[in-house]
Amino acid sequence: MEEDFYATIKFKSGEEVFAKVAASEEEDRTILIVHNPVTIGLVKSRAGLQGFKVEPWLKTTSEDMFVVDINDVLTLSESTDMEIIVMHQAFVNNSRRFMPPDMQLNRRMGYITNVNDAKKILEKIYKEQNKDT
């Protein structure tokens, strides 16, 4: 697995997200592990001021990590733009702050694992479900 980096991802569907990304080679394909993907929009006020609006990519989930097949990506551009990176980090930190104290993650809620172990488990499940095809 490659080292994490910040990137803008443009999907074939037309969606564009900014996230921390890790690329991983899987047998005959490449997958991206996308952490805290956000959409960034330009906002203009009536006074002519401009700013950015940062929103979660998927608004109906509390997950912060997604696996994306590289075949679904139109283009990917690594980013070193500190302004955008700082906005992303601030958004991630603020979104965690709004989680109620009684909703903090713990082991009683389910399995807690690292990316490599989770990947192995998911691959095993996938292979078991697709061995008849």
Alpha carbon of residue 32 to chain centroid: 9
Which has more pLDDT, 104 or 125? Answer: 125
**pLDDT grade for 1, boundaries at 50, 70 and 90:** low
DSSP 2: P
DSSP letter string, 23-46: EEEETTEEEEEEEEEEEEEEEE-T
Domains of the chain: residue spans and CATH = 5-102 (2.30.30.100)
23 with 82: CB under 8 angstroms?
A: no
Adjacent-strand bridge partners of 75: 10
Distance CA(65)–CA(68), nearest Å, equals 10
Provide, rounded to the nearest whole percent, the portion of the chain with pLDDT above 70.
Answer: 83
pLDDT by residue (tens digit) across 33-90?
999 999 998 888 888 888 888 899 998 888 889 999 999 999 999 999 898 899 899 8
Does the reported pTM lie above 0.85? Answer: no
